[in-house]
Amino acid sequence: MTTFDDREKAFENKFAHDAELKFRATARRNKLLGLWAADLLGHRDEAAEAYAQTVIIADLDEPGDDDVLAKLATDLEGMVERAAIRDKMMELMMQVAEDLPQTDT
């Protein structure tokens, strides 16, 4: 293999690794977001976990965060403003990002 091939493979591996980390971080954020919303809705224990799973699954509908935001805005209508949900999404993503293991680039 040439140096170019080695570098290309390394970049491909890093891209795949970064994509997996982003997916896992987003799923973790969505679980925490679902648990937060479940608490506001009065769900506890297994019901809260089940609701959090619906939030995780909602994110698989389409790319981006709009599907999760729409679900939560509908479910929390009259309780929490859409902007507050978006703020919570950003807060939890920052929290999850801090918890991720740091790797050398």
CATH number for the domain that contains residue 60: 1.10.790.20
**Exposure of 12 in the CB half-sphere (CA atoms within 13 A):** 6
3-state secondary structure of 77: coil
Yes or no: say if 31 and 12 are a contact pair by the CB < 8 Å rule.
Answer: no
Does 10 reside within a domain? no
The pLDDT assigned to 102 comes to: 56
pLDDT of 9-30, one tens digit each?
777 777 777 778 888 899 999 9
Domain that holds residue 48: 26-99
CB atoms inside a 10 Å sphere around CB 67: 16
What total number of domains does the chain contain? 1
What residues contact residue 84 under an 8 Å CB cut-off, 6+ apart?
A: none
* Res 99 pLDDT > 90: no
* Res 46 pLDDT > 60: yes
Does 4 reside within a domain? no
Does 19 reside within a domain? no
Yes or no: say if 79 and 40 are a contact pair by the CB < 8 Å rule.
Answer: yes
Mean pLDDT of 33-46: 97
Mean pLDDT of 36-46: 96
